[in-house]
């Protein structure tokens, strides 16, 4: 049996992902979320975990330095990496939405959209038949319409609280998001046995949770 | 853009330093010799082709092409693969000579990287094309040769996944009816998005049995037993023909004694429209991307005006090197250092040894600052320095 290297996302998704792995019967080391140590081996499971920025998980998996990863669908849509998307883990549900100040419309000359997801945003507006200008930001996207940088933002919404607190409203929902199990195409073949086991154990857990 | 610094290269362009060159040369030599010993003849084609012809016919996405203009304003491309150029030559010339054609190549191809570094934009491919033979023996030969080439190159941990686009097409056609709906579903496979595939199937207006068939299709991979499972999923002859072809090729691979390297993967879709029958990808332990791929492409030659069936494979030399892990030790040369007085003696000695097949480096000591450092990597060192030992020639 060869060792599986698994890329886990830091932050919001991490706890739910780790809990799901534990429910599926995998012994995750308690020190994993302390994030001091970047790579942690779990010889009992023949696995090796490392923590990465959620946006980077698909990159590690595409290059094959991680066999498997857990990444949000938002990351997969944005990054368009060449990886297998095998399972919907049904955790960390949220959605991508278009938001802005209430009662405003898009600037007619050059409608500006601020977002952390330029690929998703430009594809969405193109499909709608609207030409917009995308401004890439790395965080605190809500600030953009408040300070006058953009007419709209495209961002992740989970409870909508951040939007409300900043006096923004949702205009359109783009797509629902959950976390996915992704796999490198070569690992999918070469480590097929190990990955199949992981997939079937997770599938069972996800189905059990859905019934509950 | 800031001013380029003198050490910079375009994204994805790489240098090959001497020790890597040696390893690469040996690997390519082993692979080429194997191809030659199976009766394949090597050809070369130009690096530049017309976008309208070869660029358009190639299996590589348009946005991955390096394009430039010639003086007449035609768009040229740096060849993104060798299959399309070879199809051009075959259709225009070689097919008139003798059929089937067995051709081989070892050449650099060019694919622009969109996003970032970490991937080569120029890399060498080594492969074969068998043109004008529609038999399953041709498909089997190409895969058997592929296995031989991998082994001769020093690789033993690899796996070939085999699929058949005819089966996928027929299954989708039977269940979905229209080409458009099949295409949609095929795109999910091409994008490796099994979650999206399942979601899409769930929402189709189909009977639960048909949905189950489509979902089961995703799990059709592994040993030969998955072909039996697949048989249950299709009705009628067309889908079964594809499976029978796979089975027949697998039996032939057994006869070649290479079946241990082959597994089936029926949902494998390497390209949206290029392959017309059997197709495969090659994976090596420790390399994150497929080291090679291939299959039957019966429609390509027609684009160049000479319809003919064809099959072949291409391997990426850079990925094979990555799979090899160990770099070849440089053989080392015999160094002869001489001073002016004994120059002739040194030249004679070098000539003699070279004639015997030895690599000999001849160096004037006056040109070397640090003799110890210079001779560090030499296999052997001979000095012809100072007064001649026996007068005469010196």
- Give per-residue pLDDT as tens, B272-314: 788 999 999 999 988 999 999 999 999 999 999 999 999 999 9
The answer to whether the CB atoms of B289 and A190 lie below 8 A apart is: no
What chain A residue is nearest to B196 in terms of C-alpha separation?
A85
Shortest distance between the Cα of B158 and any Cα of chain A, in A, equals 8
Residues of A with CB under 8 A from a CB of B: 62-65, 82-88, 180, 184-186, 189-190, 192
Domain-ending residue, one of B225, B255, B284: B284
> Distance, in angstroms, between B221 CA and closest chain A CA?
10
- Return the residue in B159, B270, B288, B316 with the most chain A beta carbons within 10 A, the one to mutate for interface testing: B288
Which residue of chain A has the CA closest to B219? Answer: A196
Count of structural domains, chain B: 3
Task: Tell me how far CA of residue A140 lies from CA of A124, B125, B231, in angstroms.
Answer: 21, 46, 54
pLDDT for B102 beyond 80: yes
| For residue B388, pLDDT beyond 90 | no
pLDDT of residue A56: 94
Mutation for testing the A interface, residue in B116, B194, B268, B292 having most A CBs under 10 Å: B194
Q: How many CB atoms lie within 10 A of CB B69?
A: 10
Residues in B touching A7 (Cβ below 8 Å): none
Does residue B1 belong to any structural domain of this protein? Answer: no
Question: Does residue B390 surpass a pLDDT of 60?
Answer: no
* Whether residues B81 and B134 fall in one domain: yes
Q: How far is A157 from chain B (nearest CA, A)?
A: 21
Local confidence pLDDT in tens for the 212 residues of chain A? 689 999 999 887 888 998 999 899 988 777 666 656 778 888 888 999 998 999 999 999 999 999 999 999 999 999 999 999 999 999 999 999 999 999 998 888 889 999 999 999 999 999 999 999 999 999 899 999 999 999 999 999 999 999 999 999 999 999 999 999 999 999 999 999 999 999 999 999 999 988 87
Are A51 and A115 in a shared domain? no
What is the predicted pLDDT for the residue at A161?
Answer: 93
| Residues in Cβ contact with A101 at an 8 Å cutoff, skipping those fewer than 6 apart | A145, A146, A167, A168, A169
Q: Search chain B and give the residue with CA nearest A61.
A: B288
For every residue of B18-86, DSSP letters joined together read HHHHHHHHHHHHHHHHHHHHTT-EE----SEEEIIIIIHHSSS-GGG--EEE-TTS-EEEE-S-SHHHH
Same domain, A99 and A88: no
Which pLDDT does position A36 carry in this prediction?
A: 66
Say whether A82 and B161 touch across the interface (CB within 8 A): no
What's the CATH number where A124 sits? Answer: 3.40.190.10
Angle at B220 between CA B215 and CA B222, to 5 degrees: 150
Give B297-300 contacts, CB < 8 A, sequence gap 24+.
B297/B59, B297/B83, B298/B134, B300/B57, B300/B83, B300/B84, B300/B87, B300/B274
Q: Which pLDDT does position B325 carry in this prediction? A: 74
Q: Which residue is closest to B162 within chain A, CA to CA?
A: A189
Claim to verify: residue A188 and residue A127 sit in the same structural domain? no
Tell whether B141 and B172 lie within a shared domain. no
In a domain, B393, yes or no: no
The pair of three-digit structure tokens given for residue B17, joined into one six-digit string: 């330093």
Q: Which of A64, A85, A189 sits opposite B159 (nearest CB)?
A: A189
Query: What is residue B384's three-state secondary structure?
Result: strand
Residues B366 and B298 in one domain: no
Do A84 and A98 share a domain, yes or no? no
pLDDT, mean over chain B? 91
Q: Nearest Cβ partner of B195 from A62, A180, A192?
A: A180
More confident residue, B331 or A194: A194
One domain for residues A112 and A156: yes
Q: Decide if B192 and A185 are in contact by the 8 Å CB cutoff.
A: yes
A190 contacts on B by Cβ (under 8 Å): 159, 283, 285
pTM: 0.88
The domain in which residue B319 lies consists of 10-156+288-330
* pLDDT tens track for B3-42: 888 888 888 889 999 888 989 999 999 999 999 999 999 9
Chain A touched by B222 (CB under 8 Å) = yes
Same domain membership, residue A87 and residue A8: yes
Contact B194 A190 (CB under 8 A): no
Indicate if B323 and B178 belong to the same structural domain. Answer: no
Q: Are B252 and B138 in contact (CB under 8 A)?
A: no
Q: CB distance from B196 to chain A under 8 Å?
A: yes
Contact state of B288 with A186 under an 8 Å Cβ cutoff: yes
Q: A104 φ, ψ to 5°?
A: -110, 155
Residues of A in contact with B159 (CB under 8 A): 189-190
- Residues B69, B22 share a domain: yes
Same domain, residue pair A111 and A81: no
Do B379 and B356 fall into the same domain? yes
B236 and B108, same structural domain?
no
Report residue B393's pLDDT band, with 50, 70 and 90 as the boundaries: very low
Residues B196 and B180 in one domain: yes
Q: Is B265 on the interface with A (CB under 8 A)?
A: yes
Interface contact A186-B161, CB threshold 8 A: no
Choose from B63, B116, B119, B193 for mutation: most chain A CBs within 10 A: B193
Which tokens belong to B220?
Answer: 């059709």
Confidence of residue B1 (pLDDT cuts 50, 70, 90): low
For residues A165 and A183, membership in a common domain is answered with: no
Structurally, how many domains does chain A consist of?
2
Measuring CA to CA, which residue among A96, A205, A113 is closest to residue A150? A113
Tell me the residue range of the domain where A85 lies.
Answer: 4-92+178-211
Please calculate the CA angle B297-B301-B189 and round it to the nearest 5 degrees.
30
* Contact residues for B229 (Cβ-Cβ < 8 A; gap 6+): B216, B220
Distances (CA, A) of B13 to A62, B65, B117, B291, B352: 20, 14, 9, 19, 41
State mean pLDDT over B375-380. 88
Q: Is residue B389 part of a domain?
A: no
Is B114 within 8 Å of chain A by CB? no
Q: Note whether A137 and A75 are same-domain residues.
A: no
B89 and B46 both lie in a single domain: yes
A41/A66 same-domain check: yes
Same domain, A166 and A196: no
Span A110-151, pLDDT tens digits = 899 999 999 999 999 999 999 999 999 998 999 999 999 999
**Same domain membership, residue A63 and residue A12:** yes
B286 CA: distance to closest CA in chain A (Å): 8
Distances (CA, A) of A121 to A158, A189, B30: 18, 34, 50
Contacts of residue A84 in chain B, CB cutoff 8 Å?
A: 192, 194
Give the domain CATH number at B346: 3.40.50.12590
Residue B298 and residue B234 share a domain: no
Same domain, B17 and B125: yes
Q: What is the mean pLDDT of residues B104-112?
A: 95
Q: With a CB-CB cutoff of 8 Å, which residues 273-292 of chain B face chain A? A: 283-285, 287-290
**pLDDT for B122 beyond 70:** yes
What is the arithmetic mean of pLDDT over B322-333? 79
Whether residue B137 is contained in a domain is answered as yes
Provide, rounded to the nearest whole percent, the portion of chain B with pLDDT above 70. 96
Q: Which spans in chain A are helix H?
A: 12-23, 57-62, 73-79, 118-127, 143-147, 161-165, 185-190, 192-211
- The answer to whether residue B181 scores a pLDDT higher than 70 is yes
Q: In this structure, are B58 and B138 located in the same domain? A: yes
CB pairs under 8 A between A and B: 46
Searching chain B, which residue's CA lies closest to the CA of residue A193?
B222
């Amino acid at each position: 049996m060869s060792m599986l290297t698994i890329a886990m996302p830091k932050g919001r998704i991490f706890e739910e992902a780790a809990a799901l792995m534990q429910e599926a019967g995998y012994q995750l080391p308690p020190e994993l979320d302390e994030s001091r140590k970047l790579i942690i081996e779990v010889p009992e499971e023949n696995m090796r975990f490392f923590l990465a920025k959620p946006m980077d998980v698909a990159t590690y998996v595409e290059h094959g330095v991680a066999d498997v990863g857990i990444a949000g669908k938002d990351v997969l849509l944005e990054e368009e990496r060449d990886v297998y998307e095998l399972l919907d883990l049904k955790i960390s549900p949220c959605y991508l939405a278009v938001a802005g100040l209430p009662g405003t419309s898009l600037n007619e000359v050059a409608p500006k959209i601020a977002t952390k997801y330029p690929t998703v945003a430009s594809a969405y507006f193109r499909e709608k038949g609207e030409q917009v200008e995308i401004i890439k930001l790395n965080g605190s996207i809500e600030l953009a319409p408040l300070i006058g940088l953009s007419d709209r933002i495209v961002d992740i919404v989970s409870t909508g609280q951040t939007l409300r607190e900043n006096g923004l409203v949702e205009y359109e929902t783009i797509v629902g998001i959950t976390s996915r199990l992704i796999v490198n195409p070569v690992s999918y073949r070469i480590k097929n046995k190990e990955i199949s086991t992981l997939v079937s154990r997770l599938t069972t857990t996800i189905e059990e949770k859905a019934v509950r | 853009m800031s001013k380029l610094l003198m050490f910079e290269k375009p994204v994805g362009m790489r240098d090959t330093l001497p020790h890597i060159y040696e390893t690469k040369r040996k690997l390519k030599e082993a692979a080429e010799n194997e191809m030659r010993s199976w009766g394949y003849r090597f050809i070369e084609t130009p690096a530049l082709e017309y976008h309208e012809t070869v660029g358009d016919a190639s299996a590589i996405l348009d946005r991955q092409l390096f394009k430039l203009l010639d003086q007449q304003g035609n768009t040229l491309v740096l060849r993104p693969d060798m299959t399309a150029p070879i199809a051009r030559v075959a259709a225009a010339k070689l097919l008139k000579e003798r059929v089937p054609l067995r051709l081989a190549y070892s050449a650099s191809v060019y694919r622009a990287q969109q996003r970032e570094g970490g991937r080569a934009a120029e890399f060498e491919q080594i492969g074969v094309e068998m043109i004008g033979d529609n038999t399953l023996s041709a498909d089997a030969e190409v895969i058997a040769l592929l296995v031989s080439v991998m082994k001769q190159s020093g690789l033993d941990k690899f796996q070939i996944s085999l699929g058949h686009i005819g089966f996928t097409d027929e299954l989708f056609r039977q269940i979905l009816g229209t080409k458009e709906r099949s295409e949609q579903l095929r795109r999910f496979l091409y994008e490796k998005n099994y979650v999206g595939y399942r979601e899409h199937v769930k929402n189709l207006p189909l009977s639960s049995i048909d949905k189950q068939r489509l979902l089961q299709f995703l799990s059709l991979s592994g040993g030969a037993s998955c072909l039996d499972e697949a048989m249950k999923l299709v009705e009628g002859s067309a889908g079964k023909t594809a499976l029978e072809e796979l089975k027949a090729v697998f039996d032939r691979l057994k006869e070649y004694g290479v079946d241990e390297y082959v597994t089936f993967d029926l949902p494998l879709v390497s390209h949206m429209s290029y392959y017309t029958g059997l197709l495969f990808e090659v994976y090596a332990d420790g390399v994150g991307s497929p080291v090679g791929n291939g299959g039957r492409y019966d429609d390509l030659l027609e684009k160049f005006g000479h319809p003919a069936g064809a099959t072949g494979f291409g391997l990426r030399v850079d990925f094979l090197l990555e799979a090899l892990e160990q770099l070849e030790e440089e053989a080392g040369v015999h160094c002869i250092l001489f001073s002016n007085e004994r120059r002739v003696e040194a030249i004679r000695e070098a000539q003699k040894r070279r004639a015997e097949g030895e690599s000999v480096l001849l160096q004037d000591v006056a040109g070397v600052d640090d003799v110890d450092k210079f001779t560090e990597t030499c296999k052997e060192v001979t000095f012809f320095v100072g007064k001649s030992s026996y007068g005469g020639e010196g």
